A and B are shown apart, each in its own frame.
Chain A
Amino acid sequence: QKEVEQDPGPLSVPEGAIVSLNCTYSNSAFQYFMWYRQYSRKGPELLMYTYSSGNKEDGRFTAQVDKSSKYISLFIRDSQPSDSATYLCAMSALKGQAGTALIFGKGTTLSVSS
């Protein structure tokens, strides 16, 4: 079983739809959860960062973490064509003072049509 599982899609939705993107994980030591957005031929861009369980909202984006189920979600409200990108989940367990490796899902490709 991979440490982080993410459905690659592709996911196609009409403009204005609510999008739900999800990842599951197996390592109960993960405490930090992130969502990145990556446009084609660009570097990943940090969208959301959450610690432990709960919800975090930023504009049209909401991140949810359910540690009991080892499941995280990213919701996009009122989706726009500019949201078309690959979305990567990432997570980590804090690792002393030497920084920490992020473990990434493989990414879900989202296409929002106008």
Chain B
Amino acid sequence: DAGITQSPRHKVTETGTPVTLRCHQTENHRYMYWYRQDPGHGLRLIHYSYGVKDTDKGEVSDGYSVSRSKTEDFLLTLESATSSQTSVYFCAITAKGPPSYNEQFFGPGTRLTVL
């Protein structure tokens, strides 16, 4: 599991409430990613980080923000959750440096339901 944990593993919340998901890694990897997985869409990148305080947007970043104040933690925040953000969220890391950025390893996922 590449030393990745995600919390919470399951969450049910209401529309309009803020939600923060946490990804924690124990192996000091520089690159971390947040994806969402939806039926009919597959996995899509939300945001990624290439170091402490260094983040960038992915394909579906609207409505999400991220923060990385420590190497081991990458937080995903839904400022005001909407039903369209009901999904399974996966954190991933890249274990190697260039040119193997693409070997990404995934955490166990967080299943989020927004009512």
Contacts and interface: CB of A to CB of B under 8 A. Distances in A.
Interface in A14-63: 32, 34, 36, 41-46, 49, 51
Contacts of B102: 32, 34, 49, 92, 94, 100, 102
A6 to B, nearest CB: 8
B103 A46 contact: yes
Contact of A98 (B41, B56, B109): B56
Given A44-B90, A45-B106, A106 B50 contact: no
Nearest to A91: B102
Interface string B36-48: 0000111111001
B3 to A, nearest CB: 13
- Which of A36, A88, A99 counts the most B-chain CB atoms under 10 A from its CB? A99
A interface majority secondary structure: loop
B105 A46 contact: yes
A99 B50 contact: yes
Interface residues of B, number: 30
A69 interface: no
A104 B102 CA distance: 12
Given A42-B109, A43-B106, A46-B105, A98 B43 contact: no
A94 B42 CA distance: 21
Contacts of B111: 41
Interface of A: 32, 34, 36, 41-46, 49, 51, 88, 90, 92, 94-95, 97-102, 104-107
List the 6 closest pairs (A to B, CB-CB), nearest first: A43-B106, A32-B102, A106-B42, A104-B43, A99-B31, A101-B45
Interface of B: 1, 31, 33, 40-45, 48, 50, 54, 56, 58-59, 90, 94, 98-109, 111
